A and B are shown apart, each in its own frame.
Chain A
Amino acid sequence: MSAPTEREQALPKPRAARRKESPLRKAVLEGLWHNNPVFRQILGICSSLAVTNLVLNTLVMCAGLTWATALSCWTVSLLRNWTPHRIRMMVQTLIMAFYVILVDLALKAYWPEMSKNLGPYVGLIITNCIIMGRCEAFARVNPPGLSLIDGLFSGIGYSMILTLVAVIRELLGMGTILGFPVPYFSTGWDKWIILVMPPGAFFTLACLIWLFRSIQSDPEGKKP
C-alpha cells in the first residue's frame, strides 16, 4: 500500500480535460468516487478490515479519520511554502500524529467505552495511508482551502465504503444494526458468524471492491 506518487498525480486526467471541472468539484468527486481511497486506490485497508464488525465503532473510526485527514491536509498545505523538501514526510507525520492524538484524548476523556472498543486503532490512524497519500499527493502542492476539501472528501469516501462493509457484517453476522435487532435477520436468519470474525472483513471488502470497480467504467482513461 504505497501512497500515490507525484508522477501519477501529475499525469493529465482525460476526464478533467474533456469537461472543464472546477478544482473544487473535482476534489469532491475524486475523493468520493473516481479516486475513492478504498476501492480505487486500495488505501487504508488495515482499518477497513479491523474495525468494521460493528456499525457504531466504524462510524466513530470514520469520523476520526475524516477529521484527521481534512485537518492534516489543511495544515500541511498551510506550511507548504515553509516546509523544507527533504524533511516533509517527517513534518507530515508530526502533523497527522497531532490530530490523531487529539481524537484519542477526546475519546479517552469523554467516551471511555468507545475508546476501549476501538483499542489501538485510533492511534493507528496515524499510519493510515490515506492521510499520508493526500498530504503528499495533494496538500503539498495545493492551497489550504482546497486541500481541506480534498482531505474531507477522501475521508468521506473512505467512510462510505467502511460503513457499507460494517452494515453488511453486522447485519448478516449478528442480525443487528447499531445494536438494534433487525426483523427477520435477528430471528429467522442463520447468522454467518464468520462475517463477524476477521476473515469476514476480507470477503466483504473484496466483494465490494469487485462490485464498485465493475460499476466504475473508466479504469485507465478509456471512454466511459
Chain B
Amino acid sequence: MREKPWYPVVFMFVLTAFFSLILIGLSRFTRDRVEANQKLAVEKAVLLALPMALPAKASSLELHQFFLDRVSEPTPSSGGAYVLMEGDAVSAYALPISGQGFWDRIQGVIGIAADKKTVTGIAFYEQNETPGLGAEIAKPPFRSQFKDKQLAEGPKPLSFKPVGSSLGQNDVHAVTGATQTSTRLEKLVNEDLARWRAAMEKEGESPP
C-alpha cells in the first residue's frame, strides 16, 4: 500500500486533520480565557493609572469587580477617557494612550485628576520593547515618577529628561540606554494628551 501514489496524499491528509482537530478544539476551549486576559490587562492598567488604593493581593476576578464598581467606560464627554467617579463628581480620568514604540506598538493608560492638570499615574498593557531596557517603562521605578506631575500648557504637556538632570513640575527621567523607546513614548504620550485636552475644551464650550 505504501508504494501506491495516493498513499502520501491520504497519509498527510489524515495526519493534518487529526492534529488540526485537536488544536481547533483546544483553541476554542481557551478562547474565552484568552479574551478575558486581554480585557483584564486593560482594566488593570486603568486601575493602576487611577489614584486609588488597590487591594494588595487581589485576584483577577476581584480586580474586574473593582473596575466595574468604580470606573465608567469612555464617553465623548470625557474625551475618550475612562472616568473614576467619587459620588456624583468626577474624581479622575484614565486616558488610553497608544502609538509606535521602538519595536512594536505601545498601549497604555495615563491617569489625570479632575483638575485636568495633575497626573495620577501611568500604566502599560501592551509593549514589546527590549527587555531590561525599553521594557523598563512598564516597571514601577519609571512609572511612579509620573504621579503628581503637573501637565504644562502647550503642545508638550510632559517632558522626558536624561537621567541625572534636574526635574521641573512636568519632567520625568527617561530610561537610560533606551533613547528610542523614551523619545517615542514621550511623543505618543504628548500627542494623546494634547488631543484629549482639545476634546475636553471643545466639550466644555458646547452647551450641556
Known contacts A53-B131, A193-B177: does B15 contact A91 (CB below 8 Å)? yes
Q: Which of A12-20, A100-108, A133-141, A213-221 contacts B (4 or more CB under 8 A)?
A: A100-108
Residues of B within 8 A of A97 (CB): 19
How far is the CB of A103 from the nearest CB of chain B, in Å?
11
Residues of A within 8 A of B34 (CB): 108-109, 112
A168 at the interface (CB under 8 A from B): no
Residues of A within 8 A of B131 (CB): 53-54, 57, 117, 196
Closest A residue to B104 by CB, please name it.
A119
How far is the CB of A98 from the nearest CB of chain B, in Å?
4
The dominant DSSP class at the B interface is helix
Tell me if A105 and B26 are in contact (CB < 8 A): yes
Closest A residue to B11 by CB, please name it.
A84
B152 at the interface (CB under 8 A from A): no
Known contacts A53-B132, A117-B131, A193-B177: does B7 contact A84 (CB below 8 Å)? yes
Residues of B within 8 A of A10 (CB): none
Tell me if B11 and A112 are in contact (CB < 8 A): no
Residues of A within 8 A of B130 (CB): 53, 196-197
Alpha-carbon separation in the docked complex, A173 to B176 (Å):
13
The dominant DSSP class at the A interface is helix
Known contacts A109-B37, A119-B128, A196-B131: does B12 contact A91 (CB below 8 Å)? yes
Of B7, B26, B37, B130, which is in contact with the most chain A CB atoms at under 10 Å from its CB?
B37
Alpha-carbon separation in the docked complex, A186 to B12 (Å):
54
Interface string of A174-218 (1 = CB under 8 A from B): 100000000000000000010011000000000000000000000
Closest B residue to A108 by CB, please name it.
B34
- List A104-159 residues whose CB lies under 8 Å from chain B: 105-106, 108-110, 112, 116-117, 119
How far is the CB of A76 from the nearest CB of chain B, in Å?
11
Tally of contact residues, B, Cβ under 8 A: 27
Residues of B within 8 A of A108 (CB): 30, 34, 37
Alpha-carbon separation in the docked complex, A105 to B30 (Å):
8
Instruction: Supply 30 A–B pairs (Cβ within 8 Å), ascending by A.
Output: A53-B130, A54-B132, A57-B131, A84-B2, A84-B7, A84-B8, A87-B8, A91-B11, A91-B12, A94-B15, A94-B19, A98-B22, A98-B23, A101-B23, A105-B23, A105-B27, A105-B30, A108-B30, A109-B30, A109-B34, A112-B34, A112-B37, A116-B128, A117-B131, A173-B132, A174-B132, A193-B176, A196-B177, A197-B133, A197-B177
Q: A109-B30, A116-B126, A117-B131 are in contact. List 5 more A-B contacts (CB 8 A).
A: A98-B19, A105-B27, A108-B30, A119-B104, A173-B132
Query: Which residues of A does B touch, CB under 8 Å?
Result: 53-54, 57, 79, 82-84, 86-87, 90-91, 94-95, 97-98, 101-102, 105-106, 108-110, 112, 116-117, 119, 170, 173-174, 193, 196-197
A-B complex: 10 closest residue pairs judged by Cβ atoms: A109-B30, A196-B132, A84-B8, A112-B37, A98-B19, A109-B33, A193-B177, A87-B8, A54-B131, A108-B34
